[in-house]
C-alpha cells in the first residue's frame, strides 16, 4: 500500500506547468528588454543625428555673421525638434595662431583667427557626450584692439562695456572670459571701460576719468594691441571719528595711484560720515583711513603708534573708527597768568595745516574763549587769533598735533598749557608787546 502511494504522480503536471510559465516569462522579458534597448538606441541615434544637424546649422549661421559680431560670442538658446528640446551653446573667440590659446589668455597679443564652437545637449542624453562642432574663421586683414577686464580677484569680468572712439567708433561688451576684441582701422583711439555698480582701483566709474589708467591707445596697422583693466563691485566706507568731530578724511591702499580725500566740505564737521559707493574692494588688502587731507596727516608720521585700517568687501559697507585730536585753547584778554583778564568771545582766527599746502580752517571763539570745533588732524599747524580790527592785538604761533588727546609739546610764544588747555593772552603791556602778540588785531 505504501509503495503504491509513493508511485503516484498526482501534482507533477502542475509543477511542469509552473516551470514552463516561468521559462516563458523569462524569455518574454528578455525579448521585450532587447526590443526596448533597440528602441532606446534607435531614439538616441535619432536625437544625436538631429543634434548634429542643429550644430551644423549653428556653425553655418556663425560663418555668415560679420567678424565684429562674432568677437567673443557666448550665448545659449533652446530648439524643439521632433518632440525633443535641444540646448545649443554657442561660443566664439579669437585665437593666437602660434600658441592656439585664446587671444585674451595669450601673453603675446594677437588675434589671428576666430574659433567657433557649437555644443548641443538634450535631456535624453544622460551621461553620453554632447554633440560638438567647431570651425575656424579668418578675419580680414586689419588692426585689432584686445581689451581684457578682470575683477579684484583676477577673475574675468563679463558684461563690461567697452567704448572706443577714433577713426572708428565701436561699443561692445566683454564676454564670459572678460574679453572684448575689436577689429578697427589704424589710428589713435580713446578707450573707456565701465560696468554698472563697478569701479576701478582709484574709485572711478569710468576708466577714462582716471588719469592714471589707459585712456588712449595708438593702433598700428596690421597689428594687435592688448590693454587690461580691473573693475570690481564697489563698496563703501563708514567712518566714526573719536575724540572730536572732523571735517575730512583720507583713504589709501597700496593698489591705488594716490590717496583719496573725502572732505565734507572743509569746516563742515561731523562725528560720522560715509563715502559714496565708489570704494574698490582690494581682496586681502586693507585701506588706511585717517583724519585730514594729505599724507602729512598720517598718524604714524606724527608720533602715533598705529594707523586705522579696514578691508572693504565687494558690495558692502566697511566701518572704521578714526581718532581725531582736539586742540583746546582759551583766549584771554589779559597779558599773563597774573593779569589774565577775561575770556574773549568772538575772536576770529584760523589754523593752517603746514604739511597739506597750508590748508586753512577758520574759527570764531565761543563764550569760553575756545574753538567751537577743536578737532584737527595729526600734523604740524600754525595758528592766528585776532581780537578785532585796527590796533587791537592778535597772537600767532605754531604747534604739533601729536597725541590722541591733543598737542603734547606745545611751545607757545605767549602763554602756557595747563590741564591740556593752551591759554593765549591777547593783552598788551608796555613796549614791546609780549612775544607772539602783535598789534593789528586782524589775522593776515
Read off the pLDDT of residues 322-366 as tens digits, 9 standing for 90 and up.
999 999 899 988 877 788 889 999 999 999 999 999 999 999 999
Contact 67, 77 (CB under 8 A): no
Contact 280, 199 (CB under 8 A): yes
From CA 95, how far away is CA 136, in angstroms rounded? 10
Q: Nearest Cα to 328, choosing from 379, 248, 399?
A: 399
Per-residue pLDDT at 223: 81
From CA 435, how far away is CA 444, in angstroms rounded? 18
- Supply the CATH classification number for the domain 325-439: 2.60.40.10
In this predicted structure, the answer to whether residue 95 has a pLDDT above a threshold of 80 is: no
Per-residue pLDDT at 389: 61
Grid coordinates representing 163 are 567704448
The mean-pLDDT minimum among 19-28, 84-93, 222-231 falls in 19-28
The mean-pLDDT minimum among 130-144, 296-310, 370-384 falls in 130-144
Confidence of residue 51 (pLDDT cuts 50, 70, 90): confident
The mean-pLDDT minimum among 136-145, 299-308, 361-370, 380-389 falls in 136-145
In this predicted structure, the answer to whether residue 436 has a pLDDT above a threshold of 80 is: no
3-state secondary structure the chain: CHHHHHHCCCCHHHHHHHHHHHHHHHHHHHHHHHHHHHHHHHHHHHHHHHHHHHHHHHHHHHHHCCHHHHCCEEEEEEEEECCEEEEEEEEEEEEECCCCEECCCCCCCCCCEEEEEEEEEEHHHCCCCCEEEEEEECCCCCEEEEEEEECCCCCECCCCEEEEECCCCEEEECCCCCEEEEEECCEEEEEEEECCCEECCCCCCCHHHCCCCCCEEEECCCCEEEEEEECEECEEEEEEEECCCECEEEEECCCCCCCEEEECCCCCCECEEECCCCECCCCCCCEEEEECCCHHHCHHHHCCCCCCEECCCCCCEEEEEEECEECCEEEECCCCCCCCCCECCCCEEEEEECCCCCEEEEEECCCCCCCCCCEECCEEEEEEEECCCCCCEEEEEEEEECCCCCCCCCCCCCCCEECCEEEEECCCCCCCCCCCEEECCCCC
In sequence order, what are the residues at sequence separation of 6 or more whose Cβ sits closer than 8 angstroms to the Cβ of residue 352?
Answer: 358, 359, 360, 361, 381, 382, 383
The mean-pLDDT minimum among 298-307, 366-375, 411-420 falls in 411-420
pTM for the whole structure: 0.74
Q: Is the peptide bond before 209 cis (omega within 30 degrees of 0)?
A: no
Contact 122, 203 (CB under 8 A): no
Q: If you average pLDDT over every residue of the chain, what do you get?
A: 83
| β pairing state of 143-150 and 224-230 | parallel
Q: Which CATH superfamily is domain 141-232 in?
A: Carboxypeptidase-like, regulatory domain (2.60.40.1120)
Q: Nearest Cα to 228, choosing from 208, 218, 213, 211?
A: 213
The predicted model gives 117-134 an average pLDDT of 85
Per-residue pLDDT at 67: 62
The predicted model gives 185-203 an average pLDDT of 96
In this predicted structure, the answer to whether residue 280 has a pLDDT above a threshold of 70 is: yes
Sign for the CA dihedral angle at 400, 404, 409, 414 comes to positive
What number of other Cβ atoms are within 10 A of residue 347's Cβ?
27
Which of 211-215, 385-389, 427-431 is predicted most confidently? 211-215
From CA 290, how far away is CA 273, in angstroms rounded? 12
In this predicted structure, the answer to whether residue 44 has a pLDDT above a threshold of 80 is: no
- Supply the CATH classification number for the domain 234-323: 2.60.40
The length of the chain is: 444
Confidence of residue 262 (pLDDT cuts 50, 70, 90): very high
CATH 2.60.40.1120 intervals, the chain: 141-232
Per-residue pLDDT at 354: 96
Contact 302, 379 (CB under 8 A): yes
CATH 3.30.1300 intervals, the chain: 41-139
From CA 422, how far away is CA 138, in angstroms rounded? 79
In this predicted structure, the answer to whether residue 429 has a pLDDT above a threshold of 60 is: no
Grid coordinates representing 82 are 521632433
Higher pLDDT, 428 or 18: 18
Higher pLDDT, 180 or 65: 180
CATH 2.60.40.10 intervals, the chain: 325-439
366 to 210, 330, 388: CA distances (angstroms): 43, 10, 15
Fold of 41-139: 3.30.1300
Amino acid at each position: 500500500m505504501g509503495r503504491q502511494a509513493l508511485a503516484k504522480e498526482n501534482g507533477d503536471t502542475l509543477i511542469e506547468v509552473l516551470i514552463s510559465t516561468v521559462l516563458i516569462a523569462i524569455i518574454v522579458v528578455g525579448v521585450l528588454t532587447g526590443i526596448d534597448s533597440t528602441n532606446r538606441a534607435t531614439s538616441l541615434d535619432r536625437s544625436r543625428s538631429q543634434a548634429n544637424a542643429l550644430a551644423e546649422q549653428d556653425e553655418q549661421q556663425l560663418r555668415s555673421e560679420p567678424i565684429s559680431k562674432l568677437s567673443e560670442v557666448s550665448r545659449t538658446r533652446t530648439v524643439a525638434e521632433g518632440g525633443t528640446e535641444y540646448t545649443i551653446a554657442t561660443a566664439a573667440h579669437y585665437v593666437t595662431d602660434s600658441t592656439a590659446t585664446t587671444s585674451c589668455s595669450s601673453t603675446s597679443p594677437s588675434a589671428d583667427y576666430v574659433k567657433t564652437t557649437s555644443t548641443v545637449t538634450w535631456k535624453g542624453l544622460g551621461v553620453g557626450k554632447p554633440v560638438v562642432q567647431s570651425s575656424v574663421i579668418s578675419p580680414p586683414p586689419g588692426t585689432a584692439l584686445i581689451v581684457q577686464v578682470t575683477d579684484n580677484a583676477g577673475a574675468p569680468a563679463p558684461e563690461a562695456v567697452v567704448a572706443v572712439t577714433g577713426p572708428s567708433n565701436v561699443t561692445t561688451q566683454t564676454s564670459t572670459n572678460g574679453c572684448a576684441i575689436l577689429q578697427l582701422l589704424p589710428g589713435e583711439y580713446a578707450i573707456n571701460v565701465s560696468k554698472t555698480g563697478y569701479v576701478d582701483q582709484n574709485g572711478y566709474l569710468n576708466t577714462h576719468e582716471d588719469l592714471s589708467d589707459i585712456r588712449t591707445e595708438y593702433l598700428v596697422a596690421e597689428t594687435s594691441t592688448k590693454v587690461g583693466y580691473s573693475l570690481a563691485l564697489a563698496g563703501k566706507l563708514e567712518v566714526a571719528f573719536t575724540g572730536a568731530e572732523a571735517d575730512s578724511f583720507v583713504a589709501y591702499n597700496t593698489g591705488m595711484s594716490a590717496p583719496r580725500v573725502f572732505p565734507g566740505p572743509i569746516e563742515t564737521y561731523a562725528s560720522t560720515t560715509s563715502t559714496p559707493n565708489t570704494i574698490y574692494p582690494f581682496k586681502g588688502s586693507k585701506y588706511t583711513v585717517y583724519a585730514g587731507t594729505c599724507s602729512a596727516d598720517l598718524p604714524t608720521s606724527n608720533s602715533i603708534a598705529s594707523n586705522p585700517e579696514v578691508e572693504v568687501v565687494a558690495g558692502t559697507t566697511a566701518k572704521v573708527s578714526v581718532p581725531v585730536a582736539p586742540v583746546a585753547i582759551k583766549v584771554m584778554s589779559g597779558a599773563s597768568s597774573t593779569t589774565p583778564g577775561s575770556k574773549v568771545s568772538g575772536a576770529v582766527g584760523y589754523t593752517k595745516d603746514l604739511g597739506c599746502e597750508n590748508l586753512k580752517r577758520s574759527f570764531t571763539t565761543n563764550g569760553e574763549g575756545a574753538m567751537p570745533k577743536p578737532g584737527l588732524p595729526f600734523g604740524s599747524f600754525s595758528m592766528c587769533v585776532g581780537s578785532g580790527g585796527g590796533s587791537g592785538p592778535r597772537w600767532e604761533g605754531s604747534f604739533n598735533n601729536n597725541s590722541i588727546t591733543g598737542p603734547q609739546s606745545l611751545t607757545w610764544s605767549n602763554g602756557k598749557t595747563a590741564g591740556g588747555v593752551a591759554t593765549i593772552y591777547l593783552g598788551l603791556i608796555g613796549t614791546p608787546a609780549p612775544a607772539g602778540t602783535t598789534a593789528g588785531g586782524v589775522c593776515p
